[in-house]
Amino acid sequence: MAENCSEQERRPIDYTSQMTMEDPLWWLSRIANKLRTVWLARTYPFVSFGKRTWTRYSLHVTRSGARYISIGEGVGFSRDVVLDVCAGPDTHSPVLILEDGCGLQRRVVISARNRIHIMRNAIFGPSVLMIDHGGDVEGRADSAVCGPQAGGGTIRIEEECWIGFGATIVCKHGDLVIGRHSVVGANSVVTRSIPPYSVVSGDPARIVKQYDFSKGKWVLGCIRPLATAERKLPVVAASLLAES
Amino acid sequence: MHRSIHQTSAGFEDHEGFFSRILTKLYSLWVVATYPFAGKGRNLSLHYASEISRSLAPYFRLGNRVAIGKHTWFLSWSKLDIEGDREVKIVIEDDCRIGPRCTISAGNFIHFERDVVLESDVLVMDHSHAYEDVNTPISLQGTTPGGIIRIGEGCRIGRRAAILCSNKGEVVLGANCIVASGAVVTRSFPANSLLAGNPARAAQKSSPEGLRSISSGVSQLTPQISR
């Protein structure tokens, strides 16, 4: 997935063959998708729900979670996407933000408790898992706890990223940022921030390749290293400090 | 080993399973009767929620007794600019079983030889997104030219493995390879290898008999692969 092909020719993706609905059976699912999209956009309390956003009937999203989801224009959801969002009663800003032109492939699971921000034109391969909270060291499952009490951190996927098949992005502490135009390889596990214009793969994810602006090409190896694991105070403790 | 899988998944013990079997049968008949495949065998079982597009069916050749699981998605990029381009891009030979939620994306050529088993969530892709132009979003950059993937006779691909060939060239797995779950295979391996890891390495090389005993153990763990 992370090999070079700059000198080789590229083929434009031909979506027209996908768009043809030549099998009459396909109209059933197409109508179900359309109805589900209209129903979601009209009746669910999304922070925003952009035009040309296309969901599938199997999109998993709850009405209570929709109050914390902001979806931009032209976002594509493939089937069986799970948006598992819940937030504490004091939360007023969206917890999950999908900006314009994002694409979520099949079976992407996004589990947001604090904040997951996906910026413009980021694309996700199938079976990606993104989770911004996790059980603590004692193994206490806190996924049922909503809001900042859940611990964990925030995730930001910057513009034009490509998250490959089956990648897992977990942020238990602090902020995890995947920099602009980065590529996360198949089945890699990301737990630390990734600098912009990098290709990472493996478990745990390591930098395979980065774009060298002085040379103007992609080079193997690491120019800008991964961020050292910075641990912030847990959100609850930080807010207590701010109060005192 | 194959018979054991079919027997365990063919039980009529549950009404829900019974209805899905009827739907699967009807859908298989519909697809086989109306889709213009390049070649098709007998006793195909295509789950009613699997996705094969009719316009791409001329690029497929399916053997006898091929079973395709739920939500498995086949796609292939047709070269519409070439008139009468009808080269076969996906060949699935006899007795292959493709589990649920697999993604098989052929830009050039993907060949499953006889008795290949894909467990669930496997990705087989012979091209990938191009990302080299840093000024254009990756979603608009199209695909790399990619290569050819050939999976040998009797291979087993574990759950959530990925077999990728993004560059020009070939990825060939020899006969009776076993790919562990979660592995990412990006290069060729000889026959009878046991592959694991990201990127995949040959964990051990064993006699075909030894691997066959492992693989039959795996089949007992995942009896409902064809449903």
Rounded CA Rg of chain B = 18
Residue with tokens 């891009």: B89
Strand blocks (E) in A8-65: 48-49, 60-61
Q: How far apart are CA A159 and CA A28, in angstroms?
A: 35
Which residues does residue A212 pair with via DSSP β-bridges, in sequence order?
A217
- pLDDT band at B144; cut points 50, 70, 90: confident
Identify all chain A residues contacting B145, using CB atoms and an 8 Å cutoff.
5, 8-11
Banded pLDDT at B3 (limits 50, 70, 90): very low
The alpha-helical segments, DSSP class H, found in A62-197 are: 63-66
Nearest to A201 among B78, B107, B198 (CB): B198
Please say if the pLDDT value at position A234 is more than 80. Answer: no
pLDDT band at B16 (very low <50, low <70, confident <90, very high): low
In whole angstroms, what is the distance from residue B13 CA to residue A50 CA? Answer: 46
List the structure tokens of B29.
Answer: 């008949």
Which chain A residue lies closest to B164 (C-alpha atoms)? Answer: A1
State the DSSP code for B223.
T
More confident residue, A232 or A180: A180
Query: To which residue do tokens 């497929």 refer?
Result: B60
- Which of B105, B124, B131 should be substituted to probe chain A, the one whose Cβ sees the most A Cβ atoms within 10 Å? B131
pLDDT, mean of residues A74-81: 91
Question: How far is B86 from chain A, CA to nearest CA, in Å?
Answer: 14
pLDDT tens digits along A117-126: 999 999 999 9
Instruction: Name the average pLDDT for chain A.
Output: 80
For residue A6, the model assigns a pLDDT of 40
Fold of B2-221: UDP N-Acetylglucosamine Acyltransferase; domain 1 (2.160.10)
Residue from the list B77, B103, B132 with its beta carbon closest to the beta carbon of A6: B132
Q: How far apart are CA B99 and CA A104, in angstroms?
A: 22
Distance set, CA A19 to CA A26, A78, A104 (Å): 11, 14, 17
**How distant, in Å, are the alpha carbons of A74, A123, A170, B32 from that of B38?**
36, 33, 44, 11
pLDDT tens by residue, A98-149: 999 999 999 999 998 889 999 999 999 999 999 988 754 444 555 555 545 5
The complex scores an ipTM of 0.79
In chain B, where the domains are located: 2-221
* Mean pLDDT of all residues in B113-124: 93
Cα end-to-end span (Å), chain B: 16
Comparing CB atoms, the residue among A8, A13, A103 nearest residue B77 is A13
Residue A10 in this model has a pLDDT that exceeds 80: no
Res B124 pLDDT > 90: yes
Pairs across A and B, CB distance < 8 A: 140
Q: Where are the alpha helices (DSSP H) in chain B?
A: 2-9, 15-34, 208-221
- State the pairing for strand pair A198-201/A206-212: antiparallel
B209 or A199, which is more confident:
A199
Q: What is the mean pLDDT of residues B115-135?
A: 91
CATH annotation of A22-243: 2.160.10.10
Is B142 in Cβ contact with A10 (below 8 Å)?
Answer: yes
Confidence check: pLDDT of A201 > 60: yes
Given a cut of 60, is residue B13 above it in pLDDT? no
Across residues B172-199, what is the average pLDDT? 92
Decide if pLDDT at B114 tops 50: yes
Helices (H) and strands (E) in chain B, counts: 3, 19
Across the range A39-61, mean pLDDT stands at 92
Percentage of chain B with pLDDT > 70?
78
pLDDT at B141: 86
Gap from A186 CA to chain B (nearest CA, Å): 7
- Residue A131, φ and ψ in degrees, nearest 5: -145, 130
Enter the tokens of residue A193. Answer: 């921030």
Strands (E), B120-192: 123-125, 148-151, 156-157, 162-164, 170-173, 178-179, 184-185
Provide the residue count of chain B. Answer: 227
Q: Tell me how far apart the alpha carbons of residues A43 and A59 are, in angstroms, rounded to a whole number.
A: 15
Task: Tell me if the pTM is above 0.90.
Answer: no
A120 min Cα distance to partner chain B (Å): 9
Q: Is the pLDDT of residue B78 over 80?
A: no
Task: Please tell me which residue of chain B has the smallest CA distance to A206.
Answer: B198
Span of A4-18, A68-82, B152-166, B197-211 with lowest mean pLDDT:
A4-18
Report how far residue A48's alpha carbon sits from residue B123's, in angstroms, rounded to the nearest whole number. 33
